[in-house]
């Protein structure tokens, strides 16, 4: 399915931030904003909800902790018991470092993978990019158009009034 987008190109992050506020105030729904680096306050300006990633992180951490405890208790307590330093086979203080490391390991890998999946950043042959200059020095605001692109003239004017240096139309294939 293809969709039409109006792309407002901005040169400056402050101009962009104010434009985001004004465009939203004018009742236009912004699809997304692309910037070369994280812009402070852009999440609030775009009205993006807080990520639920920390909740996922908590459960990844719990999984890691459970796995590491199972691993150590099963291996050192039942499968192949060994006497180390005269301690009991299952001695929790000795398990703390490994439990800690595996909790962190599961949490960070789980979070990074979850983030890539929900952001659509997995590897593929044709990468959809709105405007390649957003990876260099331009800020790109994308607004979704309907099939006939009838709002384009009005949007062009609105974006220009708010400091866009150019306004382009782009067709994107969405999967």
Partner 1 sequence: MATLTHQESATAEHLVVTDGARKTFLAIIITGVVIMVLGILASVLGWGAAEHTEAAGHTAAAANGAAHEGGPIWLKRLIISLWHSNLFFLGVSTVGTVFMAINYVAYAGWSVMVKRIAEALSAWVIPGGVIMLIVFLVGRHDIFHWTHEGIMEKGNANYDAIIAGKSGFLNLPFYVIRMVSYLVIWGAFSWKLRQLSLKEDLLGGTYWFHKSITASALFLVLYAVTSSMSAWDWVMSVDPHWFSTLFGWYVFASWWVSGIAAIALTAIFLKQAGYLRALTSSHLHDLGKLMFGFSIFWTYVWFSQFMLIWYANLPEEAVYFNQRLGGFDGRYTGMFYFNIAINFVFPFLGLMTRDAKRQMIVMKIVAIAILIGHWSDFYLMLMPGTLKGENGFLIEIGVAAIFLGAFLILFTRRLASASLVPVNHPFLDESIHHTT
Residue ranges in contact with partner 1 by CB under 8 A: 17-18, 21, 40-41, 44-45, 50, 54, 85-87, 93-94, 96-97
Tokens at residue 91, please?
């001695």
- Indicate the residue among 57 and 172 with the shorter CB distance to partner 1: 57
- Can you name the residues that pair with 4 across neighbouring β-strands? 145, 171
- Indicate the residue among 101 and 171 with the shorter CB distance to partner 1: 101
- Indicate the residue among 6 and 17 with the shorter CB distance to partner 1: 17
Shortest distance in whole angstroms from residue 152 CB to partner 1: 27
- Can you name the residues that pair with 33 across neighbouring β-strands? 141
Shortest distance in whole angstroms from residue 40 CB to partner 1: 6
Rounded Cα–Cα distance for residues 67 and 99 (Å): 8
Please classify residue 55 by burial: count the beta carbons closer than 10 Å to its beta carbon, then call 0-12 exposed, 13-18 middle and 19+ buried: exposed
Shortest distance in whole angstroms from residue 71 CB to partner 1: 19
If you compute the radius of gyration of the chain from its CA atoms, what whole number of angstroms results?
25
- Indicate the residue among 110 and 130 with the shorter CB distance to partner 1: 110
| 126-130, Cβ contacts within 8 angstroms, sequence gap of 24 or more | 128/172, 128/173, 128/174, 130/5, 130/7, 130/32, 130/34, 130/170, 130/172
Shortest distance in whole angstroms from residue 17 CB to partner 1: 6
Shortest distance in whole angstroms from residue 44 CB to partner 1: 5
- Indicate the residue among 92 and 129 with the shorter CB distance to partner 1: 92
């Amino acid at each position: 399915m293809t969709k039409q987008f109006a792309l407002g190109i901005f040169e400056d992050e402050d101009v962009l931030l104010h434009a985001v506020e004004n465009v939203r105030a004018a009742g236009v729904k912004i699809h997304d904003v692309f910037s070369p680096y994280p812009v402070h306050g852009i999440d609030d300006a775009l009205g993006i909800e807080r990520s639920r990633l920390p909740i996922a992180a908590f459960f990844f951490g719990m999984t890691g902790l459970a796995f590491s405890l199972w691993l150590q208790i099963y291996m050192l307590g039942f499968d192949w018991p060994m006497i180390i330093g005269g301690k009991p086979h299952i001695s929790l203080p000795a398990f703390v470092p490994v439990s800690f490391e595996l909790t962190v390991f599961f949490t960070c890998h789980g979070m990074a993978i979850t983030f890539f999946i929900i952001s659509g950043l997995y590897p593929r042959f044709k990468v959809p990019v709105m405007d390649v200059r957003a990876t260099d020095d331009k800020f790109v605001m994308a607004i979704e158009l309907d099939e006939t692109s009838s709002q384009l003239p009005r949007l062009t004017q609105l974006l220009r009034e708010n400091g866009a240096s150019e306004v382009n139309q782009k067709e994107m294939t969405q999967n």
